[in-house]
A and B are shown apart, each in its own frame.
Chain A
Amino acid sequence: MNKKYINYLFKNRRIAVVFFLILYLGISLSGFMNMYRDLTPQGLLDRVKDALGVGFAMSMILAYALPVLQFSYVHSKKSVDLFFAMPVSRRDQLLGNILFCFAVSFGYFVINAVLAYILGRGGTIPVDNYLIYVLAAGIYLLVMIVITSMFYLLANNVFDGIVMIGAYSALPLLIWAVKDSFISYTVAGMSTTGFDTLSGYFSPLYMISITMDRLYDHLNKSFMNAGINPVFAVLPVIMAVIAAWLLKRHFVDREAERADQVSDQFFAYPFVIHIYAFLIMVIFGFSFRDNSFATSFLWYILLLFVYIVATFVYKRKIEITPKYLIRYGVGVLVTLLFGYAAFATEGFGQARKYTTKEGNYLLYTYDAMTDCRDLGRLVDQENGEDWINGCNVRVAVSIPTSRFDDYREVLDMIDQKRQQDIDWFYGDYDQYRGYQIHTMFVNTDKAPENDDDGRAWYNSWNQWHYSSKETFTEDQLKYLAQYGEVTIWPNDYEKWPYEDGQVDLEQFIEDRGK
């Protein structure tokens, strides 16, 4: 490493480094300004944790901003002439700038962490936990600096470099959206989730945030119980190693003449534009059946427009050639066929590949707006039936998985309903739209009666959630009532003045008969 060059980097930026340090500490340690109000161990812990959390977030922002600032010189012809002609090897320039970015972002964090620890008198955080947190912050800041630098240096000018950082950072969101649309539009019943583990594997930022969040939550507890996903903890480091290897190509062996040129390296715009266009087309392909032809057509036209604009940003000129349009058309065709194949194969077989015997309980719910005179018949509001005659039927059955044999008949009944729902999803789709029957399957370890916040019933993890027009008959509801709760919620409160607006099935049928 070239000490002279590193010396130059620090000396050159010393005023800015000090200025931003003051700003950084002013924000991260602001919680201590009203410290006198709460000197309890919990109060001090909260303040130390706040300072560490805010400090890490700000250092992560620096891990994005500093490489942009430090490596901008390779994106300008003028500055390349000055810096690449220097008697400092490219390798030393790379290491020097990475070190500078790391020293500033991590240095700020360490100063902040030490001050927070002193001001908060340790905040009941064990020293080893504190040190591990600081060390993890250091490792992950370095990881993000290396990865951001690599994305930035894929491009050939400052603007494109920033676009590359944004594009590659947002790509995991698009991957998640593809997965989400595949599930929503082609796999009957499978519930979609938020940004999930699978998509998270593509995002070092997400993995680092989750891992650091786990450590943060357990700062004053044992990290052994922090529930850290080892893949999330290690994969960003592996990604950084790969990024470091790519930096050799994009910085050490970089052709200086790339400066100020269009970013036509494979992994710059050519890859980014086409992967984005392709993944969006895949989403359109999955959702095609859900939209009218006109809507889909408009979406494809809009995407083509975006594609043209993106190509303009890339090449700085409008380029619409027959080849270009054919390429787009082929993309549309291929993704439409893929979307059709996904639907035709029932989500590549995923729709019927469910397990019920998982965890300690299988929770089953059913929710339908039926006619109070026949709870097995839907209120057909579209054909003028009055909503006021409706009764909402809700079923909740909890079946211990260890006693499945005892519940065989009810399980078969529920499964038969499930198969009907799946058939309905892949059948007459347009008619299905008008109905509001929901059935839901949740596997959980926790008995619903012990679940204070009802989370086991309503959270979205590992759920199967169907909407269809297939109702249970009143006889089936009576049967289900033997195994769980079947409650009726009439819409006409005057006619059915039940407390809380609900009543169990048996009572309702009795009252109705009067």
Chain B
Amino acid sequence: MLEIKNVYKKFKDKEVLKGLSLEVADGSIFGLVGVNGAGKSTLLRLIAGVYRSDSGEITWNGEDTYKNEKIRSQIAFVSDEQYYPIGSTVESLKLLYETVYDFDEEAYQKYLKVFELEPKMSINTLSKGMKRRVSLLFALSIHAGLILLDEAYDGLEPLARLRFKHALTELIEDEHVSVIISSHNLKELEDICDSFGILEDGKIISYGDLLQSKERINKYQLVFEKEPVRSDFDAFDVLHYENEGRVCKLVIRGDEEEVTAKLNEMKPVLMDVLQVNFEELFIYELESRGTGNE
């Protein structure tokens, strides 16, 4: 299990993470989302042991990921900007992973085929998407317990993405791997993640089970006999509100049945309840805090 407790990190005068806390359960695919500059990459680098937190604690299976290098052999980190030494091939890069990680030759051979890669391929001549495949190949070949993907998912074309999803699903089933994916493509994340966290202003402002969260946030379209005002809905946890005459649209957080019952007490002429998707959930969460810009 990944546990992050009250982590602070600042770069010179800029405080990026401000007392961030988070838990990611084993066997979970966690979608980390946030606006640009929210600190997603910083958080992943902290988890990977690349950065040291100013204070707080980050542990994987009870071990500090910065201080204990051994625990890092269980963590695969695919950065948003991958590094490949000049002139390196898939095979030469394998040497690094083979020597310092618990390398799984069988998995390597398997994913080599899945991602349609050749050992002799010169990495620097590959396309961005193919380079991503190389990084993912090694992330899946080192018996990692925790895989950190920093926008690594975004450069893949649909078929490769599908193959990668299958690979992750297999790993989760077989080895109970945990995955944290940061991405701007929320529709893609929605398909693969079972939990999520929204990072804003240096903190996780909302996190939990994706399905449950989506269920707890719904879009309500209501028509009243008289034109309503915003204050009529003060009793609800309204994330978004708009109205046009007697018609109003609300996004309300809360149990659907309870919210519907309470809204019915206001005697609307008409009421529709719609599900939100992950992207909307993200937007409404940020909007409700007055900080969303994406």
CB-based contact A84/B81 at 8 Å: no
Q: A84-B50, A85-B50, A85-B72 are in contact. Are A8 and B99 (CB under 8 A)?
A: yes
Q: Are A87 and B51 in contact, CB atoms less than 8 angstroms apart?
A: no
Please tell me if B69 contacts chain A, counting CB pairs below 8 Å.
yes
Which residue of chain A has the shortest Cβ distance to B41 in the bound complex?
A81
Neighbouring B residues of A7 by C-beta, 8 Å: 99
- Are A87 and B70 interface neighbours, CB within 8 A? yes
In the complex, are the beta carbons of A81 and B95 less than 8 A apart?
no
How far does the Cβ of A17 sit from chain B's closest Cβ, in whole Å?
15
Name the B residues within 8 Å of A474 (CB-CB): none
Query: Across the interface, do B82 and A78 meet the contact criterion of CB distance under 8 Å?
Result: yes
Q: How far is the CB of A248 from chain B (nearest CB, A)?
A: 14
Is B164 in contact with chain A by the CB < 8 A criterion?
no
In the complex, are the beta carbons of A87 and B99 less than 8 A apart? no
> Is B108 part of the binding interface, using a Cβ–Cβ cutoff of 8 Å?
no
Give the residue of B45, B85, B99 whose beta carbon is less than 8 angstroms from that of A81: B45
Residue of B48, B69, B71, B92 near A12 (CB, 8 A) is B92
A256 at the interface (CB under 8 A from B): yes
Chain A residues, CB < 8 A from B81: 77-78, 81
Given the complex, which residues of A lie within 8 Å of B85, measured CB to CB? Answer: 79
- Complex CA–CA separation, A351 to B81 (angstroms): 64
In the assembled complex, which residues on chain A have CB atoms less than 8 Å from the CB atom of B261? Answer: none
Query: Main secondary structure on chain A at its contact with chain B?
Result: helix
Knowing A5-B100, A255-B52, A256-B50, the reply to whether A87 touches B72 (Cβ < 8 A) is: yes
B95 and A85 contacting across the interface, CB-CB below 8 Å:
no
**In the complex the two chains form, what is the Cα distance from A232 to B95 in whole Å?**
43
By a CB distance below 8 angstroms, the chain B residues around A257 are 11, 51
Using CB atoms, name the residue of chain A closest to B101.
A87
The residue in chain A whose Cβ has the minimal distance to the Cβ of B98 is A8
Given A4-B100, A78-B82 in contact, is the A86-B72 Cβ separation under 8 Å? yes
Residue of B nearest to A73 (CB): B83
Whether A88 sits at the interface, judged by CB under 8 Å, is yes
- Please state if A11 and B51 are interface contacts (CB–CB under 8 Å): no
Q: Mark out the residues of chain A between 1 and 16 whose CB falls within 8 Å of any chain B CB in the assembled complex.
A: 2, 4-5, 7-8, 11-12
Residue of A nearest to B16 (CB): A257
Nearest A residue to B142, CB-CB = A87
Residues in chain B near residue A5, CB distance under 8 A = 99-100
> In the complex, A4→B96 CA distance in Å?
9
* CB-contacts of B77-93 with A (<8 A): 77, 79, 81-83, 85, 92
B73: interface (CB < 8 Å): yes
Complex Cα spacing A496 to B105, Å: 99
Q: Considering the chains assembled together, what is the distance between the CA atoms of A461 and B264 in angstroms?
A: 105
Bound: A82/B49 CA distance, A = 11
- Chain A residues, Cβ within 8 Å of B50: 80-81, 84-85, 256
- Chain B residues, CB < 8 A from A82: 79, 82-83
Determine if B95 and A256 form an interchain contact, defined as CB atoms under 8 angstroms apart: no
- Report the minimal beta-carbon distance from A315 to chain B, rounded to whole angstroms: 14
Q: How far is the CA of A316 from the CA of B70 in the complex (A)?
A: 39
Whether A84 contacts B49 by the Cβ 8 Å rule is yes
Chain A residues numbered 47-95 whose CB sits less than 8 Å from any CB in chain B: 73, 76-82, 84-89, 92
By beta carbon, the residue of chain B nearest A77 is B81
Please determine whether A256 and B69 come into contact, CB atoms closer than 8 angstroms.
no
**With contact pairs A78-B81, A81-B45 given, residues A88 and B69 touching in the complex (Cβ less than 8 Å):** yes
| Cβ–Cβ contact B73 & A256, under 8 A | no
- Cβ–Cβ < 8 Å partners of A2 in chain B: 100
B140 contacts A by Cβ under 8 Å: no
0/1 interface trace, chain A 162-184, chain B, CB 8 Å (1 if under)? 00000000000000000000000
Nearest A-chain residue to B51, judged by Cβ:
A256
Which of these, A78, A92, A255, contacts B79 with CB under 8 Å?
Answer: A78
Contact A76 B83 (CB under 8 A): yes
Residue of A nearest to B71 (CB): A87
Is residue B75 contacting chain A, with contact meaning CB distance below 8 A? yes
Using known A-B contacts A76-B83, A86-B100, determine if residue A8 contacts B95 with beta carbons closer than 8 Å: yes
A4 to B45, CA, bound (A): 24
Query: Is B100 touching A85 in the complex (CB atoms < 8 A)?
Result: no
Least CB distance, A453 to chain B, in whole angstroms: 55
Complex Cα distance, B92 from A256, in Å, reads 25
Residue on A with the closest CB to B92?
A12
Given A8-B95, A12-B92; A87-B77 close (CB under 8 Å): no
What separation, in Å, do the CA atoms of A12 and B69 have in the docked complex? 22
Which of chain B's residues has its CB closest to A264's CB? B12
Interface centre among A11, A78, A82, A92 (most CB of B within 10 A): A82
- Are A88 and B79 within 8 A (Cβ)? no
The reply to whether A12 and B70 form a contact with Cβ atoms under 8 Å apart is no
Contact (Cβ within 8 A) B69 A87: yes
A87:B73 contact, CB within 8 angstroms: yes
Closest chain B CB from A69 CB (angstroms) = 11
Least Cβ distance of B79 to chain A in Å? 4
Kindly list chain B residues whose C-beta atoms are within 8 Å of the C-beta of A80.
50
B92 to chain A: which residues have CB within 8 Å? 12
B22 CB to closest chain A CB (Å) equals 19
Which residue of chain B has its CB nearest to the CB of A76?
A: B83
B96 shortest CB reach to chain A, Å: 6
B55 nearest CB across to chain A (Å): 14
With the chains together, A78 CA to B83 CA distance in Å?
A: 5
Q: Which of B69, B73, B85, B96 has the most CB of A within 10 A?
A: B69
Kindly list chain B residues whose C-beta atoms are within 8 Å of the C-beta of A77: 81
Query: What 3 A-B pairs come out closest when comparing CB atoms?
Result: A78-B83, A87-B73, A81-B79
Interface residues of A, Cβ cutoff 8 Å to B: 2, 4-5, 7-8, 11-12, 73, 76-82, 84-89, 92, 255-257
Which residues of B does A touch, CB under 8 Å? 11, 45, 48-52, 69-73, 75, 77, 79, 81-83, 85, 92, 95-96, 99-101
A and B contact pairs by CB, cutoff 8 A, 19 listed: A5-B100, A8-B100, A11-B99, A12-B96, A73-B83, A77-B81, A78-B82, A79-B85, A81-B45, A81-B48, A81-B50, A81-B77, A85-B77, A86-B72, A86-B100, A87-B70, A87-B100, A256-B51, A257-B11
Apart from A8-B95, A8-B100, A78-B83, 18 more pairs, CB < 8 Å: A4-B99, A4-B100, A78-B81, A79-B85, A81-B48, A81-B83, A82-B82, A84-B49, A84-B50, A85-B75, A86-B96, A86-B100, A87-B71, A87-B72, A87-B73, A256-B45, A256-B50, A257-B11
